[in-house]
Chain A
Amino acid sequence: MLVAVKVTIQRSSRCRRSCSKAGRGGKPLEHIGNGVFRQKVRQGVIWANDDQDAGDFGGNGGVPGLTAAQQADGFNYQELDYNDNPLYRIHGTRDLVDFFPVYLNIASLFQSNALSAGISFTDTNWQFVLSQADGVLRFAYTSLTPTNYMNFLRDTNEARLLGGYPGETGNYAGAQLTTITNVVNGGVPLPQSFIASIATNNQGIILVEAAAPTTQPLVLTIYHGTNQIAQTQLYLSISGVEQMFRSKTMMVYPQPGSVPDRLTDASVPNEPDTTENNFIFVHGYNVNPAQARGWNADIYKRMYWSGSHAKFWGVTWTGADSQVANAVTINLQTNILHAFATAPLLNSFINSLSGTNVVAAHSLGNMLVLSTLNDCTNQTINTYFMIDAAVAIEAIDPNAPLNPDMYPSAWTNYDSRLWASGWHTMFTTNDGRSTLTWSGRLTGLQNASVYNFYSSGEEVLRDYPTDPPSYLLTIAYGQGVALLQGIKGANTWAWQEKLKGLMSANGLLSSDHGGWQFNPYYNTDIFGDHMSPANAELLFNSGHLETNAFFNWGSPSLSLFPYNNDLALEASYGSSYASSYAQNNRNRILSDAVPCLTLPLGANADTNLDLEFGGTRNFDMQTTYENAWPPGRGAAKYPAGTQAPGEWHHSDVEAVAYTFTYHLFDKMVTVGNLK
């Protein structure tokens, strides 16, 4: 009898080093015809399902390394079966990236030709049994075939069928999983209905997760009665996901949760085959080191399923200074400074890599990368993907039109040279004060081919055309934290720009100096009435605006914690000192005292990028890359009239299940040449 059996992992790959490891065992068998098997090198190199996912966009933010006691997905169950044993399910569409499709290639056994066994699938004497020695694998049956197996991630109907409906229970909550026991415990005989689907519909794809790391193979044994007729194995190399990608931590001060660097082959023993390309991911704002593990792991998994074979490097940096309750970071300005301060470290790190560097950054991580390019003149970034960039358009493009939505109403009738954003125009280029502008701050893109992945449905970076709510001006710490938590950061980028100089204190949302604060010196009465725009225009003739700006570089006189150091910029201290002060404090002054006058790149196209590169470099993720959208988010509301299935929010590149977002990752893999 000729028996052709094969078990293959879809998107299989070699483990670059571990195949030669002692104890790894032999190589899987591949049937090459006439009952002849050969050793097969490919094996299943994948990660254990040890994070926590829920629904379409919930869970623990992808942070891996949870244990059974911590309810890692691979061990987490909410129900018992009829025998009071745990009943495991897939934890939502977001959990699907942690499964891998395995093809039980036994259809030929049921064919009636000279090379096949001609087994009748209705003959119950034949048993097909899956087993695995340490019992950490669980699987779901699917109706997928070898030609459409990726639908478990890419077809929203299939993903819904398997991942379940958010908030539902029972079978609607996610597909049931079967634990693959070891041979001693009898393994898992495949049901006759599944065998029939293999025989008649060329199915045979099961979705497998590993609850824990393992190198024990998945075994398919075929019995006729009690006689073992054939056996084949899928060799596995399953580890925690952080054993599969590299990591570089570059904190400006120590923070708990930071992971040690993983820079060498030895530190990533389960890294699959990689090319000479490096894919370097830089997380954004409000991501602490522990949360960065989740971001890096999630982005790695998504790039993996989109076919990237680049070496993946997750960068961890200080982007959550002033974070409260692991949820909300209240001081953007200090983290902007950290981004600038980290740039030399990122520059050195990237320069140390061999191969072609493709960098992707999220949110404020783009300030860090752009500073690396501009301030460190990094020449080794080949391709750069900005994702939801929390950087004003004018920073990379001084030719971008200014946006009146960024002007507080109290200032719109005043000459823009009177504004803090215009003060720099009063100085010659050899004076450091001439650099106190966001316009053109980060234009040096060096050799990088730059792409702007933005979302017109942004909530954090959303345009806010009116004045920020007056309540914010005097908000107290506790109220501010509660508010920012409640609104999930919505509108806050525009608010913090338009509130520069207007807050009652520094460190919460925005600042109390510079910015849009009128200089009381120019008030016309003791009640705080400001000089009229017409009269203010005459100040240009006085020559005093350099030494006494129309806005206030200091804090209001009633401030409890006044910050008046920046008054040094006014020449009463001597212009040379003022120039040096500006140079030495430039990034801090920009972050907390000089407003941007353009909207952020992460919510808007910078069409001049297209002009520059001669191709489309701005991609609206909301209208271009959504593959349907989680129904729990409701319809797209912003901008009005959008035809997108839903709003792509600031962190949805990581939060929303890959099923809905995979087009973006495919694009990065294609453009970055990362296959």
Chain B
Amino acid sequence: MPPEFGPHQWTATVTVIGEDGNPIAAADVSLQYTVPTPAGSSDPTFGEIKGLTDTNGVFSASHTDSSPDLGLVIDKAGYYATHSGWQFYFDDKRRNPSFTLILKKIGDPIAMYAKKEEIKMPKENEPVGFDLMIGDWIAPYGAGKTADVFFTVHRKIISPQEFDADLKLTFPNAGDGVAIVPPAPDTGSPLVMPHSAVEAGYQPALTWNYHNFTETSEPASGYFFRVRTVLDSNSNIQSALYGKIQGDVRFLVGTKAPRAGIAFNYYLNPTPNSRNVEFDPKQNLLGNLPFDEQVQSP
């Protein structure tokens, strides 16, 4: 084996912190490296070094092998396991990586209406209501009963290469709205967004636009939304439901298709005024959805 690909020593240093930035001691760390293919085997297997973080939240380990990469799994009771990885790229300068990983607490996972939604727009140039508790367009386009949100699509397609299209999200009630969650670095935690939706900062409409293949929407790691809002006489929120859209709302223009589509993963908390958006995947209020429509992350 040439030197670049032969055994090398690596040293990995892992620092585990909580969402507050403080170190987490006694977290389980698993460092996994690839073991070269054994004779007669069809695929490599892996070796593993395990340990606990110290009071500074640090765990360090060394090993000599010819693994091209490292895998990390950090876990602790009461927290979501965090994953990460590292490629050596056969480069001596990358042999001693340091990681700072965030363990997010398991807070209060709740039953929610949660769905990986992908649906065709039944109409263009007019708002169409979508019922988040049913997971469908409202009648006559679907089985939905209450419009939680409206989607409006405009398309001008000259050719598959030349088009203009926009998707607008609006709401039926005063006080309803959507709040953009800005992009954040991947922490490796399955809890991608905050435990709770924001209290304020909801805007009544949001538009995604494509000019040819260029999208002009504001970058986001997700969205919080507030629906079914009831205001009191002073325009204060008396009652509202909160939820989140994890990841982007994908506007599937359909430059060769008769209809546009939209796709988004949403979670709706059914309890009025509760901003908790941490989902328990075992308690989906939409019941047993087909595999393709199930969301697994909290």
Residues of B close to A470: CB separation below 8 A: 4
* Interface membership of B144, Cβ < 8 A: no
Contact A611 B45, CB 8 Å, known A635-B73, A637-B69, A643-B83: no
* Interface membership of B129, Cβ < 8 A: no
Contact A641 B186, CB 8 Å, known A614-B252, A614-B261: yes
Contact A643 B85, CB 8 Å, known A57-B42, A611-B253: no
Q: Which of B120-152 contact A (CB under 8 A)?
A: 120
Residues of A close to B90: CB separation below 8 A: 469
Stretch binding the partner chain, chosen from A254-262, A484-492, A518-526: A484-492
Secondary structure dominating the interface of B: loop
* Interface membership of A412, Cβ < 8 A: no
Total of A-B residue pairs, C-beta within 8 Å: 136
* Interface membership of B292, Cβ < 8 A: yes
Distance in Å from the Cβ of A207 to the closest Cβ of chain B? 24
Q: Which of B36, B43, B160, B161 contacts A58 (CB 8 A)?
A: B43
In the complex the two chains form, what is the Cα distance from A364 to B34 in whole Å?
A: 26
Q: Which of A490, A633, A643 contacts B297 (CB 8 A)?
A: A643
A613 touches B254 (CB 8 A): yes
Q: Which of A394-447 contact B (CB under 8 A)?
A: 399
B5 touches A486 (CB 8 A): yes
Residues of B close to A636: CB separation below 8 A: 71, 83, 85
B85 touches A614 (CB 8 A): no
Contact A634 B46, CB 8 Å, known A399-B161, A469-B4, A643-B297: yes
* Interface membership of B106, Cβ < 8 A: no
A612 touches B32 (CB 8 A): no
* Interface membership of B91, Cβ < 8 A: yes
B43 touches A615 (CB 8 A): no
Distance in Å from the Cβ of A386 to the closest Cβ of chain B? 17
Contact A641 B188, CB 8 Å, known A491-B68, A634-B48: yes
* Interface membership of A483, Cβ < 8 A: yes
Distance in Å from the Cβ of A56 to the closest Cβ of chain B? 9
In the complex the two chains form, what is the Cα distance from A640 to B161 in whole Å?
A: 34
B44 touches A488 (CB 8 A): yes
A611 touches B254 (CB 8 A): yes
Residues of B close to A612: CB separation below 8 A: 160, 254-257
Residues of B close to A632: CB separation below 8 A: 45-46
CB-CB contacts of A441-465 with B at 8 A, as 1s and 0s?
0000000000000000000000011
Residues of A close to B66: CB separation below 8 A: 486
B259 touches A614 (CB 8 A): yes
A611 touches B252 (CB 8 A): yes
Nearest opposing residue in chain A for B93, CB measure: A466
Q: Which of A57, A58, A486, A615 contacts B254 (CB 8 A)?
A: A615
A635 touches B32 (CB 8 A): yes
Q: Which of A466-485 contact B (CB under 8 A)?
A: 466, 469-471, 475, 479, 482-483, 485
Distance in Å from the Cβ of A657 to the closest Cβ of chain B? 12
* Interface membership of B96, Cβ < 8 A: no
In the complex the two chains form, what is the Cα distance from A39 to B286 in whole Å?
A: 43
In the complex the two chains form, what is the Cα distance from A666 to B291 in whole Å?
A: 10
Residues of B close to A615: CB separation below 8 A: 118, 120, 252, 254, 257, 261, 263
Nearest opposing residue in chain A for B48, CB measure: A634
A616 touches B252 (CB 8 A): yes
Distance in Å from the Cβ of A286 to the closest Cβ of chain B? 13
Secondary structure dominating the interface of A: loop
A663 touches B43 (CB 8 A): no
Contact A616 B250, CB 8 Å, known A57-B43, A634-B71, A639-B85: yes
Most chain B C-beta atoms within 10 Å of own C-beta, residue among A469, A610, A640 = A640
In the complex the two chains form, what is the Cα distance from A482 to B41 in whole Å?
A: 15
A641 touches B84 (CB 8 A): yes
Q: Which of A487, A634, A643 contacts B68 (CB 8 A)?
A: A487
Nearest opposing residue in chain B for A398, CB measure: B161
A490 touches B186 (CB 8 A): no
* Interface membership of A305, Cβ < 8 A: no
B186 touches A471 (CB 8 A): no
Residues of A close to B1: CB separation below 8 A: 482-483, 486
Residues of A close to B2: CB separation below 8 A: 471, 475, 479, 483
A634 touches B32 (CB 8 A): yes
* Interface membership of B11, Cβ < 8 A: no
Q: Which of A399, A471, A616, A640 contacts B188 (CB 8 A)?
A: A640
* Interface membership of B70, Cβ < 8 A: yes
Distance in Å from the Cβ of A379 to the closest Cβ of chain B? 15
Q: Which of A614-643 contact B (CB under 8 A)?
A: 614-616, 632-643
CB-CB contacts of B253-277 with A at 8 A, as 1s and 0s?
1111111110100000000000000
In the complex the two chains form, what is the Cα distance from A336 to B257 in whole Å?
A: 32
CB-CB contacts of B271-298 with A at 8 A, as 1s and 0s?
0000000000000000000011000010
A469 touches B213 (CB 8 A): no
* Interface membership of A10, Cβ < 8 A: no
In the complex the two chains form, what is the Cα distance from A639 to B72 in whole Å?
A: 11
* Interface membership of B86, Cβ < 8 A: yes
Q: Which of A58, A475, A482, A640 contacts B186 (CB 8 A)?
A: A640
Most chain A C-beta atoms within 10 Å of own C-beta, residue among B43, B72, B85, B87 = B43
A655 touches B257 (CB 8 A): no
* Interface membership of A309, Cβ < 8 A: no
Residues of B close to A635: CB separation below 8 A: 30, 32, 71-73, 83
* Interface membership of B79, Cβ < 8 A: no
* Interface membership of B37, Cβ < 8 A: yes
* Interface membership of A59, Cβ < 8 A: yes
Most chain B C-beta atoms within 10 Å of own C-beta, residue among A61, A399, A615, A639 = A615
Q: Which of A224-239 contact B (CB under 8 A)?
A: none
CB-CB contacts of A54-84 with B at 8 A, as 1s and 0s?
0001110100000000000000000000000
In the complex the two chains form, what is the Cα distance from A155 to B285 in whole Å?
A: 23
Nearest opposing residue in chain B for A643, CB measure: B190
Nearest opposing residue in chain B for A666, CB measure: B291
* Interface membership of A377, Cβ < 8 A: no
A483 touches B5 (CB 8 A): yes
Residues of A close to B85: CB separation below 8 A: 636-642
A471 touches B3 (CB 8 A): yes
CB-CB contacts of B183-221 with A at 8 A, as 1s and 0s?
000111010000000000000000000101100000000
* Interface membership of A108, Cβ < 8 A: no
* Interface membership of A362, Cβ < 8 A: no
In the complex the two chains form, what is the Cα distance from A641 to B188 in whole Å?
A: 4
In the complex the two chains form, what is the Cα distance from A399 to B210 in whole Å?
A: 14
* Interface membership of A40, Cβ < 8 A: no
Contact A642 B83, CB 8 Å, known A57-B43, A399-B161: yes
B91 touches A58 (CB 8 A): no
* Interface membership of A649, Cβ < 8 A: yes
Distance in Å from the Cβ of B220 to the closest Cβ of chain A? 16
* Interface membership of A583, Cβ < 8 A: no
Nearest opposing residue in chain A for B71, CB measure: A637
Residues of B close to A608: CB separation below 8 A: 213
Distance in Å from the Cβ of A163 to the closest Cβ of chain B? 16
Distance in Å from the Cβ of A349 to the closest Cβ of chain B? 27
Q: Which of B55-96 contact A (CB under 8 A)?
A: 66, 68-73, 83-87, 89-91
Q: Which of B4, B42, B69, B252 contacts A610 (CB 8 A)?
A: B252
Contact A488 B43, CB 8 Å, known A614-B260, A635-B71: yes
* Interface membership of A16, Cβ < 8 A: no
Can you list 7 pairs linking A and B with CB atoms under 8 Å apart? A399-B161, A466-B89, A488-B37, A632-B45, A632-B46, A638-B85, A642-B83
| Known pairs A615-B261, A641-B83 / 4 extra A-B pairs, C-beta < 8 Å | A611-B255, A614-B261, A615-B257, A633-B46
Q: Which residues of B contact A (CB under 8 A)?
A: 1-5, 30, 32, 34, 36-37, 41-46, 48, 66, 68-73, 83-87, 89-91, 118, 120, 160-161, 186-188, 190, 210, 212-213, 250, 252-261, 263, 291-292, 297
Q: Which residues of A contact B (CB under 8 A)?
A: 57-59, 61, 399, 464-466, 469-471, 475, 479, 482-483, 485-488, 490-491, 608, 610-616, 632-643, 649, 655, 663, 666-667
8 nearest A-B pairs in the assembled complex, by CB-CB distance: A614-B254, A634-B46, A614-B257, A637-B71, A637-B85, A641-B186, A641-B188, A634-B32
